Structure 1
Amino acid sequence: MERPLVVGVDGSDPSLSALDWAAAEAALHGVPLTVLYASRWQRYEQRAPSFSVDRPAARIYAEDIVGAAAERASRRVESVKVSTEITAEDPATALVRRSREASALVVGSRGLGTLTGLLLGSVGLAVAAHAESPVFVVRGTDLDAAGDSVIVGVGEPAAAAETLAFALREAELRKLPLTAVHAWRSSTPELPGRRVAAVETSGMQHAETELAEVLGQSGLDLGSLTVERRVKEGSARDALLGASSDAALLVVGARRRNGHAGMQLGSVNHAVLHHSACPVALVPHH
């Protein structure tokens, strides 16, 4: 059975942007799209009048949201098969549960919550931290702009293969070059004169060799795809955020620690999810 792409909607503008993006992504992959609405029903008891003794107001409200969303997605990409799902549970819980059967999840950068100061909403953050499938967080102000590459952050060799494979597939589908970004930090204190330059050169060469080894050990057949290797001195956060400014998609890995119930996102993941200038794909690995 084909695994659908699942997008969470709540009627907010960011969720509608995520819906539009998800419809295009589903078409790229040739998979069906499921539009999911989840909420504790009590929250909406007073939002709309009930016109049926059999259907409470909250259910009508939910049906209106997913119905309009499904129609919007079908109009935007006619080739995609669209279905809807409504569930009376916490949105993050519903999406994480759904990730077990989904090809990927798509969420907006912010929902209807009252904590508007958050750059990424609490639902998106929780889903990114715990989903079993890849998660797309739709960021950026001009989502119709194509972007000129797919960016992938390359860190630990043991965790890179799955993230690289995902990024490669996204680049192939978009017919865009893949840019592998690797950041390094000098462990040597500042030194006077030429020795500083020598240390920097040595550090850069080591980082470039490390990146080449990671790409080589991934076992991926790059075929005719153009892969740019970009090594940056400094923090991974700054390197990835800088690269996101003109990218179509930024792909990063996320370690899942078995038996750990807390938030499973590192500082770099947090930074790109909150500040990336383009959509972010978070690829889980154990």
Structure 2
Amino acid sequence: MDIRTIVVGVDGSPASDTAVDWGAAEAERRGVPLEVLHTLAAHSLAAAPAGGAPPLIDDDEHEDVLDAAAARARRSFPGISVIARSETRDPASALIDRSTGAELVVVGSHGKGLLARFLLGSVSHRVSSHALCPAVVVHRNVGAAGLPVAVGVDGSPGSRAAVLLAVEEAQMRKVPLVVVHGWQPAPVSGFDALPVPQEVIDAQHDVALSVVDDAIAVARAAAPGLEVTSVVAPMGPVLALDSESENVQLLVVGAHGHRGLSGAAFGSVTSAVVDGAQCPVMVAPAPAG
């Protein structure tokens, strides 16, 4: 039987080092190999001079980045198996392809320099949207080991997939699960918007509670002994999830959902949370079908 690996995209930046540390810890926790993946195309594009001149970053530095990442993982977690892999193409495509047989794919939240930061942002969004396994974007604050796992819910099939994944992560870490739902209590349609009747706001709140109750039921059915709490926040989903990310070690969201009470597609929520959360964000792959 093939052994599934944890694949970490590396580029030599401090954020990449944080991703390697997080991925190595997960490899040890799960008893699987760690694969560090570096693509020459990422550096060549970020450092290419104008006029068709050769890129400023050569193959030697490419190998140095890869070797340093592998050595860092082995030094921090001597018991894990580390595989170093290099490819000459764009990092998002390489990571998405590797996700086919991976346990997780992991990237840091920022790369080297302004252009690389832009490129890596694009990488994290593409990988989160298209990976066939859970994708993790690691932020600087990795969260204490004893903190809970949180999951954002909106009642969609993608939200249900996120709940089931979050249950697995909470059980693995032996910590509680927090179900989080943000709802916008009053729609805004301009300066001339009419006041929203209290009964409409109350009805919206009832729907929000129902979404959370359904998610809790799914979690408890999957793991009857798991401690599950909830946060129902009268604010937009991005603000609710970003706020909760300060108090948890991992935030799980779905790759896709539907338009909810806030009127925002869950995919756009996921994109904003991937960029702005304080802790690592794990994106559950979209359900098949």
Q: TM-score, normalised by structure 1?
A: 0.82
**What is the deviation of 1:14?**
0.7
Structure-1 residue corresponding to 2:109: 109
Deviations 1:33-64 (A, max 9, x none): 0011112399286657xxxxxxxx51x32222
Structure-2 residue corresponding to 1:232: 233
Of residues 195, 198, 203, the one that matches 1:190 is 195
CA 1:218–1:170 in 2, change beyond 3 Å: closer, same or farther?
Answer: closer
**What is the deviation of 1:200?**
4.0
Deviations 1:55-84 (A, max 9, x none): xx51x3222222221111011112211111
Please state which structure has a larger fraction of its residues in helix: 2
CA 1:47–1:237 in 2, change beyond 3 Å: closer, same or farther?
Answer: same
* Paired residues for 1:150-189 under 5 Å: 150-186=149-185
CA 1:89–1:120 in 2, change beyond 3 Å: closer, same or farther?
Answer: closer
Provide the C-alpha distance between the structure 2 equivalents of 1:119 and 1:85, rounded to a whole number of angstroms: 20
**What is the deviation of 1:86?**
0.9
Q: Percent identical across equivalent pairs?
A: 37
The count of residues paired between Structure 1 and Structure 2 equals 266
**What is the deviation of 1:143?**
2.6
Preserved CA contact (<8 Å) 1:100 1:132: yes
**Structure 1 unmatched ranges of 5 or more:** 49-56, 257-263
**What is the deviation of 1:104?**
1.1
Provide the C-alpha distance between the structure 1 equivalents of 2:24 and 2:42, rounded to a whole number of angstroms: 27
Structure-2 residue corresponding to 1:125: 125
Provide the C-alpha distance between the structure 2 equivalents of 1:88 and 1:71, rounded to a whole number of angstroms: 21
| Aligned-partner SS, 2:115 | coil
What amino acid does structure 2 have at the position aligned with 1:215? I
Provide the C-alpha distance between the structure 2 equivalents of 1:274 and 1:41, rounded to a whole number of angstroms: 19
Preserved CA contact (<8 Å) 1:132 1:284: yes
Structure-2 residue corresponding to 1:143: 142
CA 1:217–1:19 in 2, change beyond 3 Å: closer, same or farther?
Answer: closer
Deviations 1:214-241 (A, max 9, x none): 4335684223211002212221111111
**What is the deviation of 1:24?**
0.7
Preserved CA contact (<8 Å) 2:167 2:219: no
**Structure 2 unmatched ranges of 5 or more:** 48-53, 188-193, 258-264
CA 1:156–1:42 in 2, change beyond 3 Å: closer, same or farther?
Answer: closer
| Aligned-partner SS, 1:242 | helix
What amino acid does structure 2 have at the position aligned with 1:231? V
CA 1:156–1:31 in 2, change beyond 3 Å: closer, same or farther?
Answer: same
Provide the C-alpha distance between the structure 1 equivalents of 2:151 and 2:61, rounded to a whole number of angstroms: 39
Structure-1 residue corresponding to 2:12: 11
Provide the C-alpha distance between the structure 1 equivalents of 2:219 and 2:43, rounded to a whole number of angstroms: 49
Structure-2 residue corresponding to 1:20: 21
Q: TM-score, normalised by structure 2?
A: 0.82
What amino acid does structure 1 have at the position aligned with 2:256? R
Deviates more, 1:151-160 or 1:214-223: 214-223
CA 1:144–1:215 in 2, change beyond 3 Å: closer, same or farther?
Answer: closer
Deviates more, 1:175-184 or 1:13-22: 175-184
Provide the C-alpha distance between the structure 1 equivalents of 2:206 and 2:42, rounded to a whole number of angstroms: 57
**What is the deviation of 1:280?**
0.5
Q: CA RMSD in A?
A: 2.8
Provide the C-alpha distance between the structure 1 equivalents of 2:42 and 2:203, rounded to a whole number of angstroms: 60
Structure-2 residue corresponding to 1:79: 79
What amino acid does structure 1 have at the position aligned with 2:251? L
Preserved CA contact (<8 Å) 1:33 1:81: yes
Preserved CA contact (<8 Å) 2:185 2:205: no
Deviates more, 1:78-87 or 1:147-156: 147-156
* Paired residues for 1:51-90 under 5 Å: 57-58=58-59, 60-90=60-90
